[in-house]
Chains A and B, each alone.
Chain A
Amino acid sequence: MNVLTISGITKHYGAITALKNVSFSVPEGSVYGILGPNGSGKTTLLGIVTDALRPSAGTYKFFDGSKPVNEIRKDMGVLLETPNFYPYLSAYQNLDIVAKIKGCDTAEIPDVLKKVNLFYRQRSSFKTYSLGMKQRLGIAATLLGNPKIVILDEPTNGLDPEGISEIRQLIKQLAKEGKTVILASHLLDEVEKVCTHVAILKKGELLTAGDISGALSKEEQTPTTVPKSKEKAMIEVVAGDLENLAGVLKTLTGVLDITVDEDVITIVHYTDELTPQQVNKHCFDNGIVLNRLIAKNKNLESKFLELTK
């Protein structure tokens, strides 16, 4: 069953079109990543499904659409863009307001504060919090009332490395509990590590959507000579003289396409027979000693860059 179905959503801000006819659906129990560069419309899309923004066209529904949307929002934890709280109230008092709106037990407040390591500061007013602590409180608020759906918009904003890894654990934990998580991010690493599904937006247009392996292979324009198993792999090589190295690599049979960056050469496409050992030997035979040779998975990042180019 789909938790959320988005159909043909368009949003204009004056002359700017922030979303163009976006449609996809989020299956129950998935961790759905919404990816896109800055300004691609991720927050606008989440703002629309949480009723903060009005779509110019299109509709959305939660489950079968029979329950009033604001009742569904009470059973949803949402952190949209920035954590919004009353600055002069303490963490506890702020969560008290959220709990009252959601109609959940205030006895849960200490528990969610402990989950994000803010319990010791629960009596301090929100304005005294650091950026990371504010973000943690925002995440605590999304956990109130044990929601079925959690929507997190850039949840690791302003967090330290420890905080980022805690959020990752938290998302995995939520998924394990059977909750549906919708995660918007421009941090591909974040999405890749936790998501089961992904939708990629660029300038308001949906480029691809679906489960992570499917969405990534769709529209893949690799030469047919490259077998499926190698589709996601690439080899990075670095040597003292990159120009020379590029010339030598082109002469190696099996290499189909390379990209030359400032400090690294990547063999993007190559035939099945080519192995990293062969690359190494070929270079050495041609008088080049490699500083680095890495066989890498063609990850979400390269796919993302390719799609949003």
Chain B
Amino acid sequence: MLHLLSIEFLKLQRNRSFLILTLLFVISIFGINYIILEIVKNIYINDKITFSNVWEFVPYATSYLLVIPGFIMIMHTCSEYTYRTHRQNVIDGLSRNQYVTTKILFIIILALFSTIATIITTLITGISLGIDISFESFRYIYYFFVQATTYISFAFLFALLFKKTGLTIGLFFVYSLIIENILEKYINQIHIGIDKIGEFLPLSSSEHLLMPDTIQTVMKIANIGNANSEYAYLIMSIIYIGLCYLTCYYRYEKQDL
């Protein structure tokens, strides 16, 4: 496994777009939370915010930036199609499964990296507010990891299906930002014993998983608040990640490279 990952990092070592986008992603995580912090500071009186609130808020705000690692994943996968190195790697001796496994390992590393950056940002935010450190509500960090993995994994699936960078980016972002939200609204109206079944669409599941109570209070006005339990979202998200990888393996196994 480490051997496969080392090959992946050799490919990216001098890839300027990758390095710059990763750097921008980290800067944006700090940036978006700094902006929110400035707004929140003016609304709340400091002693009302607990560290638990910070563990809820920072991962939620950061999750809006997952478009950047999603973009990195699409760019990286599609560029291999453009350079035809996706086929050269197989010709040189990787099995098709190993090629997909390498990419999945890279997805997990990218999600872990995003999570660690989020943990650091949360700590910095909390400390700068002068609150005593506590790890209550730390589970939102795990949920963030799940959402990051889901989002980047589906970006990878789109890249395998559509191969061309521009087309994939367009389709993936239109799907994740617009189509799935519209679908969610319509499917929610179907009643089959579960409330708001549209919340269990692939990307929505993990979005709802990461939605903290405080945000839900606000969202309920727009009828977007969570209708199901955290565990249900968590289980669905993990099932979707599994299905996504199975589709990726199947697709790459059958495809002409």
Contact = CB atoms under 8 A, between A and B. Distances in A.
Physical interaction between A and B: yes
Interface stretch (A84-92, A193-201, A287-295): A84-92
B85 A85 contact: yes
B47 interface: no
A53 B256 contact: yes
B91 A88 contact: no
- Main DSSP-derived SS at the B contact region: helix
Nearest to A144: B92
A87 B83 contact: yes
A59 interface: no
A233 to B, nearest CB: 42
Contacts of B15: 86, 88
B48 interface: no
Given A53-B256, A84-B88, A101-B7, A93 B14 contact: yes
A73 B254 contact: no
Given A52-B87, A88-B16, A98 B11 contact: no
A286 B234 CA distance: 99
Contact of A96 (B10, B85, B254): B10
A25 B62 CA distance: 59
Contacts of B93: 70-71, 73-74, 76, 101-103
A97 B89 CA distance: 9
A264 to B, nearest CB: 43
A80 B91 contact: yes
B3 interface: yes
B28 interface: no
Contacts of B257: 51-53
B196 interface: no
A61 interface: no
Chain A: interface size category: 20 to 34
A97 B7 contact: yes
Contacts of A125: 14
Interface in A8-57: 47, 50-54
B189 interface: no
B2 to A, nearest CB: 11
Given A70-B94, A97-B7, A88 B14 contact: yes
Contacts, number: 78
Given A82-B84, A84-B83, A87-B83, A50 B91 contact: yes
A82 to B, nearest CB: 7
Given A53-B257, A84-B87, A85-B83, A101 B92 contact: yes
B92 A98 contact: yes
A236 B255 CA distance: 51
A68 B3 CA distance: 19
Interface string B1-43: 0010011001101111000000000000000000000000000
B117 to A, nearest CB: 25
B116 interface: no
B90 A97 contact: no
Contacts of B87: 52, 80, 84
B174 to A, nearest CB: 28
A78 interface: yes
Given A88-B15, A100-B3, 14 more contacts: A51-B257, A76-B93, A80-B87, A84-B85, A85-B85, A86-B83, A88-B14, A88-B16, A89-B14, A93-B13, A101-B89, A101-B92, A101-B93, A125-B14
Interface of B: 3, 6-7, 10-11, 13-16, 83-85, 87-96, 98, 254-257
16 contacts: A47-B256, A51-B91, A52-B91, A53-B257, A68-B95, A73-B92, A84-B84, A85-B85, A87-B83, A88-B15, A89-B11, A100-B10, A101-B7, A101-B89, A102-B92, A125-B14
